[in-house]
Structure formats: structure tokens, C-alpha cells
């Protein structure tokens, strides 16, 4: 990165964060709070790395695939044996009781938004040595394919293309108000077998509540008793939700997988069909006619729940919504509910929603990965100037406040962990693209 000093400084700062969190073959999301490898974090991280160390970006993806289960699932955490002080740790998950778990690595038993193909395609597109990058795609293609087939085989409820999640941690937006209803639809008196460590590292006011953690741990202990068997979980789980964001990220992943199949010379008709069925179901089944917005379907109660949070813009991120709905979403995200006039976009929960809290985890603060996904979506629909405005605001936010995990949309102050990897990685991506655009003007 040369030229623009502002961009160059941010780029270097971001590189330093990624170096601090580098574990050799993988990158931890944050120095102390998250000492292992996380699924969608590593995908975002690979995208950032691919701009200045394409080989290291490929290693990031290889190390994530190393934790893949026999059924194709990539777990949400691959544990780093050298790290302690993260709860729940590997002994709690007992994944080796599943015949699908890899024998040599400790992992969690649930997954996260499947954006890995998107990352692999970006790594290829950002590589200067296309032959080497093409070889990389060829090598990983079978495992990427089995990751997406996993969702089709095991996570469809049977009636249409939508897939369900079995835990709020799978959504990536752990304590979003989106899960309040589904998570509280069952009675529970529960004491987890472990003591939380997160709220001794980060202020309790910025993390999920104990009541939420009790339910998170209840679900893990239930699935553990079922030896992580997909069919049994489907039958017994009190939490089965088809979220709009998760399904749209799956759609983005399938779109990227389709392109990768083309690049490696493999027939991709099946992937095209999976994506077609999924997109259709998102637009038909997750559209709330009364609210005129997208919601999440709860398979347990049979309800479509609309919640006024940033995840409702997911079909815009994925480029799959019809034009009239897109215009409506752009207007909404540009309103003071999501884009405070004197503050920073995008609030993760609408400021008009009673659940809005500017510093509490996924209940109001700005998250850089969400902004980044919205920026890409806006660009894909030709909203270049709103996209650029959002990118500039995002970079300004990080520049003034540091590479935090999330930010208060009113003051810009950083919360959660400092030196957060995906914030850094996506800043690298944003400054590189903004710089390219500026040079071409
Ligand atoms: C549980 C690592 C992860 C992110 C998630 C984010 C948070 C974990 C936690 O951190 O979740 O998976 O301990 O709170 O919600 O999106 O992948 O950065």
C-alpha cells in the first residue's frame, strides 16, 4: 500500500494486529478473549491476509479444513492445545464420542456461517500467482464441496432449501435479540458445568448475560449426550431456527463454490440447484408480509419472527433480494435507526428497538464484518456511493478508536477485545479496495 497516508497507516496497523494474533498456521480472533481458531473469523482473516501474504492466507484456510468432520461440517472452534482459559473448552464438548469428529484435533461440535468458499475465492482473486492459487483451489475443492453438502444433507428440515441452526453460537451473532424468543421458548433450571471466563476478561456489561449462557450450555450438554448425532439433535433439540442471515451467508458461499467449481473444471449444476432452491425459500418463506421485511423461521414453534436488527439486510448482502425490497432495505439502513446522524453506522440492532444497547455485544454496537458484508452487497446492486460512504465511515471509526471487536455507534468507543483479527483483516480489504477505486478516478 503506497500513496494515501491514511490508508497506508491503517493497513500497517491492521497487519500488526494480525501478526500479534498469528499462531503460525492459524490466527486467533483476539489475544486473550478468543485464544483458539474460529470458523468464520478465519475466513475473514484469510481475505485480509490474501492482499499481502497470499500463501499465509492459504495456510489459514488449510488449517481450518484440518478440523473438518467426516460428514463435512467445519466446527465453529478448532482448539489450540497450547491455550487455556476459554470456556467451554475441549473437554466439555466431548466430540470424540462422535464417529464424525477428526481423531487428531479437538473441536467444538457445532458450526458457524459457511463463508469459507467466499474467502477461498477472494484468496484466488487477490493472488498474483494465479497458477499457484489455482492449484490451491483444486486441492481444497473436494473438502469445500463436502462442507456445503453437509448443510444440504443434514441441515435442511426436508421441505425446502432452507437450513437450520441448532445453537445461537452457530449464527455468529450469539446474543442477538433474534434468538430471544426461540431461546426462551423452553423452560429451564440449569447450572452449567463450567464457570464463564469471558466476563473476567471483558466487562460483563458488554457480554451476553448469565441467563443466556445457561441456555447456551444447556444446548451443548444436550447435544453432547446425543453424541453429536444430527438426526437425534433434530429430534430432541428445543432450539432449531432457520435464520435469514445464516441462510444468506450460505447462499453467498454456494455462489462462490459455483465459481470455484468452474475454475477447477468441475460440473457445478448441483451447486446451482442448491443455491436456486435456497434463494427461492429465503425470498418466499422468510419474507414477513405484514412487516415487509425478512425474519427467521423457528422450526420448534412454527413461527416466523421478525426482529428489527441488521441481520434483516442479509438478502441485500447476498445479492438475492428483488429490486423493490432492496430499495426498501437501503432506505432503512440509511435511516437514523441504523445510521445515527452524529455517530457511526451500522447499529447491529435498530435504535428504536427496546432491546437496543450501544455497548452490549450483538445488541446494538457496530461490527466491522457486518458493515463489510453490507458494503459488498450494496456494490453488487450498484449502490456505489452509499457503499463508499459506509466504507469511509467504517475506516474512520477504526482509525479513531482502534481495532476493537465492536463499537458504540453513538460515541465510536471500542468495546469487547482490542486487537481483534477480523476488524483488522477487513480493514485491509476495505483500504485496498478504496485505494484502488481512488487511483482509477
Ligand atoms: C462463541 C470469535 C467469536 C465469533 C462470534 C462471536 C464470539 C464466541 C464467544 O466470538 O462468539 O463462539 O465466546 O462469545 O459472537 O461471531 O466468531 O471471534
The residue nearest atom 12 of ligand 1, judged by CA position, is 169
Catalytic residue at 174?
yes
Grid coordinates representing 60 are 489459514
The residue nearest atom 8 of ligand 1, judged by CA position, is 169
Closest to 64 in 3D by CA, of 54, 74, 55: 74
Grid coordinates representing 213 are 449462557
Q: What is the pLDDT of residue 2?
A: 47
Q: Are strands 241-242 and 296-298 parallel, antiparallel or unpaired?
A: antiparallel
Measured from the CB, is residue 76 less than 6 Å from ligand 1?
yes
Catalytic residue at 160?
no
Q: What is the pLDDT of residue 180?
A: 98
3-state SS class at 64? helix
Measured from the CB, is residue 29 less than 6 Å from ligand 1?
yes
Closest to 212 in 3D by CA, of 196, 201, 234, 232: 196
Per-residue pLDDT of the chain (441 residues; tens, 9 = 90+): 545 899 999 999 999 999 999 999 999 999 999 999 999 999 999 999 999 999 999 999 999 999 999 999 999 999 999 998 899 999 999 999 999 999 999 999 999 999 999 999 999 999 999 999 999 999 999 999 999 999 999 999 987 899 999 999 999 999 999 999 999 998 888 888 878 899 999 999 999 999 999 999 999 999 999 999 999 999 999 999 999 999 999 999 999 999 999 999 999 999 999 999 999 999 999 999 999 999 999 999 999 999 999 999 999 999 999 999 999 999 999 999 999 999 999 999 999 999 999 999 999 999 999 999 999 999 999 999 999 999 999 999 999 999 999 999 999 999 999 999 999 999 999 999 999 999 986
3-state SS class at 309? strand
Distance 337 CA to ligand 1 centre (A): 25
Catalytic residue, from 41, 206, 405, 418: name it: 405
Distance 440 CA to ligand 1 centre (A): 37
The preferred substitution site among 29, 34, 119 for testing ligand 1, maximizing ligand atoms within 8 Å of CB, is 34
Give the integer Cα–Cα distance in Å for 96 and 227: 8
Distance 405 CA to ligand 1 centre (A): 10
Give the integer Cα–Cα distance in Å for 57 and 168: 28
Q: Are strands 241-242 and 37-38 parallel, antiparallel or unpaired?
A: unpaired
Amino acid at each position: 500500500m503506497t500513496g494515501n497516508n491514511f490508508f497506508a497507516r491503517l493497513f500497517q496497523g491492521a497487519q500488526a494486529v494480525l501478526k500479534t494474533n498469528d499462531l503460525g498456521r492459524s490466527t486467533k480472533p483476539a489475544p486473550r478473549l478468543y485464544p483458539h481458531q474460529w470458523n468464520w473469523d478465519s475466513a475473514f482473516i484469510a481475505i485480509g491476509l490474501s492482499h499481502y501474504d497470499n500463501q499465509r492466507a492459504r495456510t489459514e484456510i488449510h488449517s481450518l479444513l484440518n478440523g473438518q468432520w467426516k460428514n463435512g461440517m467445519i466446527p465453529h472452534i478448532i482448539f489450540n492445545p497450547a491455550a487455556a482459559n476459554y470456556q467451554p473448552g475441549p473437554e466439555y464438548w466431548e466430540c470424540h464420542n462422535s464417529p464424525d469428529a477428526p481423531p487428531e484435533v479437538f473441536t467444538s461440535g457445532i458450526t458457524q456461517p459457511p463463508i469459507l468458499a467466499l474467502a477461498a475465492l477472494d484468496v484466488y482473486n487477490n493472488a498474483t500467482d494465479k497458477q499457484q492459487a489455482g492449484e490451491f483451489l483444486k486441492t481444497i475443492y473436494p473438502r469445500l464441496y463436502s462442507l456445503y453438502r453437509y448443510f444440504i444433507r443434514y441441515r435442511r428440515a426436508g421441505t425446502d432449501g432452507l437450513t437450520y441452526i441448532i445453537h445461537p453460537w452457530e449464527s455468529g451473532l450469539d446474543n442477538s435479540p433474534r434468538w430471544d424468543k426461540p431461546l426462551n421458548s423452553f423452560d429451564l433450571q440449569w447450572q452449567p458445568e463450567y464457570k464463564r471466563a469471558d466476563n473476567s476478561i471483558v466487562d460483563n456489561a458488554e457480554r451476553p448475560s448469565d441467563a443466556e449462557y445457561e441456555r447456551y450450555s444447556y444446548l451443548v450438554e444436550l447435544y453432547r449426550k446425543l453424541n453429536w448425532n444430527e438426526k437425534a439433535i433434530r429430534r430432541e433439540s428445543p432450539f432449531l431456527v432457520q435464520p435469514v442471515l445464516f441462510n444468506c451467508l450460505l447462499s453467498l458461499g454456494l455462489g462462490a463454490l459455483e465459481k470455484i467449481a468452474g475454475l477447477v473444471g468441475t460440473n457445478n449444476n448441483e451447486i446451482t440447484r442448491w443455491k436456486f432452491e435456497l434463494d427461492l425459500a429465503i425470498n418466499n418463506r422468510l419474507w414477513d408480509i405484514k412487516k415487509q421485511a425478512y425474519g427467521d423461521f423457528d422450526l420448534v414453534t412454527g413461527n416466523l419472527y421478525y426482529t428489527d436488527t441488521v441481520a434483516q439486510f442479509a438478502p441485500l448482502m447476498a445479492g438475492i433480494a428483488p429490486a423493490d425490497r432492496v430499495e426498501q432495505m437501503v432506505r432503512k439502513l440509511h435511516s437514523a435507526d441504523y445510521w445515527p446522524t452524529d455517530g457511526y453506522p451500522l447499529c447491529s440492532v435498530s435504535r428504536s428497538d427496546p432491546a437496543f444497547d450501544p455497548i452490549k455485544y450483538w445488541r446494538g454496537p457496530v461490527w466491522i464484518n457486518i458493515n463489510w458484508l453490507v458494503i459488498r452487497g450494496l456494490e453488487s446492486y450498484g449502490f456505489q456511493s452509499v457503499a463508499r460512504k459506509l466504507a469511509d465511515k467504517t475506516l474512520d471509526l477504526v482509525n479513531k478508536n482502534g481495532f476493537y471487536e465492536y463499537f458504540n455507534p453513538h460515541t465510536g468507543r471500542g468495546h469487547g477485545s482490542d486487537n481483534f483479527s477480523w476488524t483488522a483483516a477487513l480493514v485491509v480489504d476495505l483500504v485496498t479496495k478504496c485505494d484502488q477505486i481512488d487511483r482509477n478516478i
